[in-house]
Amino acid sequence: MAPTTNRPLCHAASAIADAALQALQHLPRRTTTSASNTSAPQAPDTTKGVAGEPAPGSHEALAVLAERGIAPPAAAGAPLGPDDQRFSPIAIGHLTHRLVELKLMLDQLGTEQKELHDTLRLAHLRGDLRHLLPPGGEGGYQLPGGVQLHRRAGRRQWQYGPEVQELEAQLKAQQVYEQSNGQAVWSLGAAFWELRFPKG
């Protein structure tokens, strides 16, 4: 049986995302004044790429697009080629809206999952699950659709003696030393998108 969708949660997350985007779209633009010494938000500098990633429009970026079979946008004044609807204003608007919506839904789902696990734990300790759910294999409980629910022991959390703690402290000090004098070598992972919501 396919899992059911939490419709109230989805609707709530969608409503929150809509409200957040509408609020951001209607924020007043700030202009530079001598009295307040405030300036308008700066657009991202597209001439520089995020560390570890090509700059937009660079030869490296065009090579990445070519590998994916994606044509770059037409230059200013050049005749327009076939439109790629994946990158149209409407598509990008839907994409960013969905990104915000999913982030809010995942946060809410994570909280709900913790609450469900805690309630199931309490029901397990009370002995309710033994009477309300049929037994499954290996001491678990049988759920609809052939799914089984098992209570597993937590992972081992080791606590070491003073000698190991001293070695760990020495290792950490050596790592900091090599980072500061250039002996340590580092590399960047793949760039990623980050959502920053208004405070308050």
At 95-130, the pLDDT tens digits run 999 999 999 999 999 999 999 999 999 999 999 999
The partner residues of 149 in beta bridges, in order of sequence, read 141
pLDDT band at 27 (very low <50, low <70, confident <90, very high): very low
Q: Is 141 helix (H, G, I), strand (E, B) or coil?
A: strand
**191 touches 53 (CB < 8 A):** yes
- Contact present, 65 and 87 (Cβ < 8 Å): no
In 61-193, the DSSP E strands lie at 141-142, 148-149
Q: Name the pTM for this structure.
A: 0.59
Burial of 104 (0-12, 13-18, 19+ CB in 10 A): buried
Cα 123 to Cα 106: distance, rounded to the nearest angstrom: 25
In degrees rounded to 5, what are phi and psi of residue 146?
80, 5
pLDDT at 150 over 90: yes
